[in-house]
């Protein structure tokens, strides 16, 4: 009833975009965090953790674009992280260390891989789509393990972070943090723009009712393919950043478990809101980071031996937490924040 | 010489394919009948391997350990069904993927917690140790032949169960048209449990059988799960026959491909490049194969649903 | 008579041994309102699927605007001016009524691959969409989510969506299905207004509506067309009467 009342009171032209609270708070917090980190006494640790949050936030955001707005459950999205990472590693080992070269190459490679695999995957529907994207992800994973020249199974340590226009400023952790922040903000704004555009509207329509879309003359396949390519390129960018953050690349960037984690981040934050994916990534990584600490504190009454075994096996708590979230937190974190969702 | 190698690799491929089939059979039924994606199916294979390792360390007898492991694996599968999976049947695939992913995280750590992170070894049962000469100069381990025989026997048993019994008929009907089955007044909940438990036991059996020839370690079910998914997608979801053929195909393509890809490429490339490219391409072969199948037949080779 | 806009030549479709449409030939001239009636299971919806491209034909040809479109798919036919509604209401429930229609306007005006610019604020899309909504009498409900509309309103929305694609031919699959008396009266009113704008081919069970709307009627029984003619001719056709005997009293 209140829903209907709210709909009817809306004017013909949608209201001008009001500044939304959640993304404002989110990006505001990320912007001031480095200043607080400097005071914390553990600046390096905090910055590195938050960089990881932003990088996985970027990857999760890219996945939300096709998952939340296109209902395409890509279970191979970590492959793009790998492509981005290996673009950095392979180019660097051939002496091309500038991000201004690496990023375009990474984007092109991700886009190409997305175009090829998307053309095949999008012919299938539902469960088959999940499985075929999973298989393509595995294919790339095994390709990486067999790249003996670039470390094979063990991966490859980068000589240093990428150069930026010939300078070494990215080696500074604060500058690198800023670089990640700008990438995330830029991609977020771009994704918001895409979602509300004509293209985004067709994508959302195809998610709701593909047959209806065909009946008015749209071929959902092409729109989904383009969205898949865009999403893949965004995730490729996240891969470039991740390689630089870790100063290391390995096939473990693109295990299927990693793809599963990305999906989890999106669902945890709340599907189809973009900033929800970033919040989800943050929640996931922080939980992973601090769960051992929390367990340590929570089990103070146990003997120190049991306590350390519990902390060591924190994943035995993490797994059930994930299950409980799926079973009971519907709509993700954004579903809990009043007004946190928008469509 | 090459013919001998080919024969050995073909046997290895067959053995690997049959193991894949044991896992995929349960997966494809659960998938087809309940429309449920169970990522945790791979850990049931791992649990089977650990159970047989634990029981054979305890009893000192592989056969006895297997006899104990099977009902335990079944009970474990049913426990998971009641505790978790049952609450996911009416959720969408995404929720199913994520919740069962949580189960994997938990169980991989749980086996580490109980048995430690180091791989366990299970000795090959005494009577099946050693090799026999199949043809002139070709020795092949007896135990691997036993796996092949057991795999074929289970496949046959499954065929009889699915095509000749009442439950089998319901399962086939359920894979084709689930609404119809529940409309017939069948207790669908119980049917689900039966299918689920049986699938879990088959996966556990596969894990138990390979325990003596592989190392039993945490996460051992993760990659084979993906292969099982490849199998059921190629075979067509819900089709036992499709899963069987696809499993054998995948087993052969993977095993034979790994040993012969460099040789085949040598016809086109210089030896060094050929062996390097061959090593890179071989593990990708089955995924390329799957992509090719789905490109031409988006619902697999033997789609059960119409 | 004007040239035929839609021409069916010996259309046939079977599911296994079951023949659903059998050797259907029909021609609909531009500007006509043509109704297909027939008892349940006569293959009417399948015929609409074959014409719109949702289901492939076993054999035969579909000619539209002088061109053979038999091999084209649903979205390709839609682009050529063949719009359809669905028997089971098919709208985008999470979109507002206006957005549902604006999307259909978007399909025929300008590129839909634009990644920038807020589509919801484009007057070129919202203007014509609003016009279509007003035409079907949904103007005041434009911002209600389609999923929250009443059943009758959804039927009206379907018409608005189909209209917004500026079709040469409107294929309507039981536009009155499931509507109450008041609602069905409103939809018939809308259809009457549309007849001056486009050619209409419809399937309908409501005989009163069919006989008052249609210029010509075809009768489909067990996949075969047994008669085509004006409402008056059909009413007095003995074969038709025989086919409907015991089904329902004809108006």
Listed residue (C134, C113, C110) closest to C122, CA to CA:
C110
In this structure, of A285-299, A317-331, B225-239, B273-287, the range with the lowest mean pLDDT score is B273-287
Report the gap between the CA of A212 and the closest CA in chain B (Å): 22
Confidence grade of residue A115 (pLDDT, cut at 50, 70, 90): very high
- pLDDT of B106 strictly over 90: yes
Q: Is the pLDDT of residue A205 over 80?
A: yes
Q: Which of A128-132, B19-23, B76-80 has the lowest mean pLDDT?
A: A128-132
Confidence band, pLDDT 50/70/90 cuts, at residue A340: very low
Assess if residue A5 is contained within a domain.
no
B133 backbone dihedrals φ, ψ, rounded to 5°: -90, 115
- Which of A4, A197, A215 faces C78 most closely, judged by CB atoms? A215
Contact A75/B at CB under 8 A: yes
Burial class of residue A240 in the structure, from the number of CB atoms within 10 Å of its CB (0-12 exposed, 13-18 middle, 19+ buried): buried
Q: Do B54 and B208 form a contact (C-beta atoms < 8 A)?
A: no
pLDDT of residue A4: 40
Residue A334 pLDDT > 90, yes or no?
A: no
Nearest to C156 by CA among C173, C177, C133: C133
- pLDDT-based confidence at A82, cuts 50/70/90? very high
Question: Which residues are C201's β-sheet partners?
Answer: C34, C171
Contact A209 C114 (CB under 8 A): no
Q: What is the pLDDT of residue A31?
A: 93
Length of chain C: 251
Residue A190: the pLDDT is 96
> Rounded to a whole number, what is the distance in Å from the CA of A66 to chain C's nearest CA?
14
Q: Which of A135, A323, A326 sits opposite B290 (nearest CB)?
A: A135
Strand blocks (E) in B136-275: 138-141
| For range B64-76, the mean pLDDT | 94
Q: Please, which chains are in contact with C (at least 3 CB pairs closer than 8 A)?
A: A
Evaluate if residue B274 carries a pLDDT over 80.
no
pLDDT value of residue A109? 97
pLDDT tens, residue by residue, C22-48: 889 999 999 899 999 988 878 888 999
The mean pLDDT of A70-99, rounded to a whole number, is 94
Q: Is residue A343 part of a domain?
A: no
d(CA A239, CA A78): 9
- Note the pLDDT of residue A55: 97
Annotate B217-254 with DSSP letters as a single string. Answer: -TTHHHHHHHHHHHHHHHH-TT-HHHHHHHHHHHHHHH
pLDDT band at B77 (very low <50, low <70, confident <90, very high): very high
Paired residues of B82 in beta bridges:
none
DSSP for A273-300, written as a single string: -SHHHHHHHHHHHHHHHHHHHHHHHHTT
Distance CA A243, CA A158 (A): 8
Three-class HEC string of B4-32 = HHHHHHHHHHHHHHHHHHHHHHHHHHHHH
Range A126-141 average pLDDT: 89
Distances (CA, A) of A16 to A13, A343, B124, C140: 9, 15, 73, 21
Q: Cβ(B19)–Cβ(B223) under 8 Å?
A: no
Per-residue pLDDT tens over the stretch A228-283:
999 999 999 999 999 999 999 999 999 999 999 999 999 999 888 899 999 999 99
For chain B, say whether A148 makes contact (Cβ under 8 Å): yes
> What percent of chain A has a predicted confidence (pLDDT) above 90?
58
Do residues B97 and A75 touch, judged by C-beta distance below 8 A? yes
Residues of chain C with pLDDT under 70: 1-2, 245-251
In which band, very low, low, confident or very high, does the pLDDT at B243 lie, cut at 50, 70 and 90?
very high
Give the per-residue pLDDT at B294: 83
C113 vs A4: CB contact, 8 Å cut-off? Answer: no
pLDDT tier, B306 (very low <50, low <70, confident <90, very high otherwise): very low
Inform me whether the pLDDT recorded for B153 exceeds 60.
Answer: yes
* DSSP code for B61: -
Q: How many CB atoms lie within 10 A of CB B117?
A: 11
Q: Considering the entire predicted model, what is its pTM?
A: 0.88
Chain B neighbors of A139, CB-CB under 8 A? 284, 287-288
- Residue A19's pLDDT is 60
- Does the residue A2 lie in any domain? no
Range of the domain at A323: 21-336
Per-chain mean pLDDT for chain A: 88
Give the confidence band of B30 by pLDDT, cuts at 50, 70, 90.
Answer: confident
Number of structural domains found in chain A: 1
Confidence (pLDDT) at C207: 87
Q: Is C93 in Cβ contact with A197 (below 8 Å)?
A: no
- Find how far residue A330's CA is from the centre of its chain: 20
Q: Which CATH architecture has domain B2-296?
A: Orthogonal Bundle (1.10)
Under the banding of pLDDT at 50, 70 and 90, the label for residue A9 is: very low
CB C132, CB C198: distance < 8 Å: no
The reply to whether A165 touches chain C by the CB within 8 Å rule is no
Each residue's pLDDT tens digit, B118-141: 999 888 888 888 888 877 777 888
Would you report the helix, strand and coil content of chain B in percent, each value rounded to 5? 75, 5, 20
Question: Which residues in chain A are contacts of C132 at CB distance < 8 A?
Answer: none
Spell out the domain ranges in chain C. 4-93+167-244
Q: How confident is the model at residue A70 (pLDDT cuts 50, 70, 90)?
A: very high
- A208 contacts chain C (CB < 8 A): yes
Is the CB of C115 less than 8 angstroms away from the CB of A199? yes
Going by pLDDT thresholds of 50, 70 and 90, the confidence category of residue A18 is low
Here the ipTM equals: 0.84
Domain C4-93+167-244: CATH superfamily is: P-loop containing nucleotide triphosphate hydrolases (3.40.50.300)
Collect all residues of chain A within an 8 Å Cβ-Cβ radius of residue C98.
12
Residue pair A315/B109 in contact (Cβ under 8 Å)? The answer is yes
CATH number at residue A34: 1.10.3470
CB contact under 8 A, A198 and C114: yes
- Predicted local confidence at residue A2, as pLDDT: 40
* Residue numbers in A near C95 (CB within 8 A): 204-205, 208
Average pLDDT of chain C, as a whole number: 88
pLDDT of residue A149: 85
Is the confidence at residue B178, as pLDDT, over 70?
A: no
- Rounded to the nearest integer, the mean pLDDT of chain B is 86
A13 pLDDT more than 50: no
Distance CA A274, CA A188 (A): 7
pLDDT at B305: 53
**Residue A202: its chain C contacts at CB < 8 A?**
103, 106, 112
């Amino acid at each position: 009833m209140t829903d209907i009342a709210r709909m009817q009171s809306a004017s013909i032209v949608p209201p001008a975009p009001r500044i939304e609270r959640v993304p404002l708070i989110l990006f505001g917090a990320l912007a001031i965090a480095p200043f607080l980190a400097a005071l914390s006494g553990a600046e390096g640790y905090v910055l590195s953790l938050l960089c990881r949050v932003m990088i996985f936030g970027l990857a999760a955001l890219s996945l939300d674009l096709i998952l939340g707005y296109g209902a395409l459950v890509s279970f191979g999205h970590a492959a793009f992280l790998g492509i981005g990472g290996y673009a950095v590693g392979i180019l660097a080992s051939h002496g091309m260390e500038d991000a201004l070269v690496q990023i375009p190459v990474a984007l092109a490679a991700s886009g190409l891989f997305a175009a090829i695999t998307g053309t095949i995957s999008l012919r299938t529907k539902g469960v088959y789509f999940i499985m075929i994207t999973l298989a393509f992800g595995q294919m790339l994973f095994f390709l990486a393990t067999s790249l003996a020249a670039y470390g094979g199974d063990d991966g490859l340590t980068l000589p240093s972070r990428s150069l930026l226009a010939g300078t070494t400023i990215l080696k500074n952790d604060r500058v690198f943090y800023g670089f990640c922040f700008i990438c995330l903000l830029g991609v977020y704004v771009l994704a918001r723009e895409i979602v509300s555009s004509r293209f985004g509207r067709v994508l959302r329509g195809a998610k709701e009712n593909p047959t209806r879309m065909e009946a008015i003359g749209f071929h959902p396949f092409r729109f989904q393919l383009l969205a898949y390519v865009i999403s893949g390129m965004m995730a490729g960018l996240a891969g470039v950043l991740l390689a630089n953050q870790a100063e290391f690349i390995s096939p473990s960037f693109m295990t299927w478990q990693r793809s599963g984690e990305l999906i989890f981040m999106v669902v945890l934050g709340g599907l189809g809101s973009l900033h929800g994916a970033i919040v989800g990534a943050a929640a996931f990584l922080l939980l992973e980071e601090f769960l051992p600490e929390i367990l340590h504190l929570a089990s103070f009454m146990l003997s120190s031996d049991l306590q350390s075994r519990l902390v060591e096996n924190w994943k035995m708590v993490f797994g059930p937490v994930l299950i409980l979230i799926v079973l009971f937190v519907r709509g993700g974190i954004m579903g809990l924040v009043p007004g946190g969702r928008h469509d | 010489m090459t013919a001998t190698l080919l024969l050995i690799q073909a046997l290895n491929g067959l053995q690997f394919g049959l193991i894949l089939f044991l896992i995929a059979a349960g997966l494809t039924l659960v998938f087809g009948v309940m429309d449920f994606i169970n990522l945790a199916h791979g850990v049931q294979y791992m649990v089977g391997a650990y159970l047989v390792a634990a029981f054979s360390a305890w009893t000192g007898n592989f056969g006895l350990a297997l006899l104990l492991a099977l009902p335990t694996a079944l009970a474990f599968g049913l426990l998971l069904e009641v505790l978790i999976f049952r609450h996911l049947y009416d959720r969408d695939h995404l929720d199913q993927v994520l919740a069962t992913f949580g189960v994997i995280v938990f169980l991989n750590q749980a086996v580490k917690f109980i048995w430690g992170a180091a791989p366990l070894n299970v000795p090959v049962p005494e009577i099946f140790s050693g090799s026999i000469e199949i043809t002139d100069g070709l020795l092949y381990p007896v135990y691997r032949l036993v796996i092949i025989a057991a795999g074929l026997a289970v496949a046959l048993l499954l065929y009889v169960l699915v095509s000749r019994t009442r439950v089998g008929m319901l399962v086939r009907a359920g894979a084709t048209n689930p609404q119809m089955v529940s409309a017939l007044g069948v207790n669908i909940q119980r049917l689900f449990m039966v299918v689920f438990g049986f699938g879990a036991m088959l996966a556990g059996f596969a894990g138990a059988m390979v325990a003596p020839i592989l190392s039993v370690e945490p996460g051992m079910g993760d990659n084979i799960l993906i292969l099982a998914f490849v199998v059921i997608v190629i075979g067509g979801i819900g089709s036992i026959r499709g899963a069987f053929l696809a499993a054998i195909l995948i087993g052969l393509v993977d095993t034979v491909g790994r040993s012969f890809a460099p040789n085949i490429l040598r016809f086109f490339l210089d030896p060094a490049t050929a062996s390097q490219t061959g090593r890179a391409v071989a593990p990708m072969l089955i995924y390329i194969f799957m992509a090719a199948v789905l490109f031409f037949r988006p619902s697999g080779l033997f789609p059960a649903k119409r | 008579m004007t040239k035929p806009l839609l021409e069916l030549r010996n259309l046939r479709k079977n599911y296994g041994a079951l023949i659903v449409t059998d050797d259907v030939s029909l021609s609909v001239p531009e500007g006509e309102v043509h109704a297909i009636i027939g008892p349940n299971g006569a293959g009417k919806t399948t015929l609409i699927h074959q014409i719109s491209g949702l289901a492939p034909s076993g054999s035969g040809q579909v000619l539209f605007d002088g061109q053979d479109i038999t091999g084209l798919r649903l979205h390709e036919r839609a682009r050529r001016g063949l719009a359809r509604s669905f028997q089971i209401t098919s709208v985008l429930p999470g979109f507002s009524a206006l957005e549902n229609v604006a999307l259909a306007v978007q399909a025929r005006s300008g590129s839909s691959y634009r990644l920038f610019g807020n589509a919801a604020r484009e007057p070129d899309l919202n203007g014509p969409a609003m016009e279509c909504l007003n035409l079907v009498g949904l103007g005041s409900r434009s911002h209600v989510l389609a999923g929250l509309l009443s059943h009758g309103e959804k039927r009206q929305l379907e018409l608005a969506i189909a209209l917004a694609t500026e079709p040469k031919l409107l294929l309507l699959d039981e536009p009155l299905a499931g509507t109450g008396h008041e609602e069905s009266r409103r939809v018939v009113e809308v259809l009457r207004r549309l007849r001056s704008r486009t050619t209409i081919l419809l399937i309908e069970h409501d005989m009163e509506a069919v006989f008052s709307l249609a210029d010509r009627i075809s009768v489909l029984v067990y996949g075969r067309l047994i008669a085509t003619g004006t409402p008056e001719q059909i009413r007095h056709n003995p074969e038709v009467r025989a086919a409907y005997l015991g089904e329902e009293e004809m108006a």
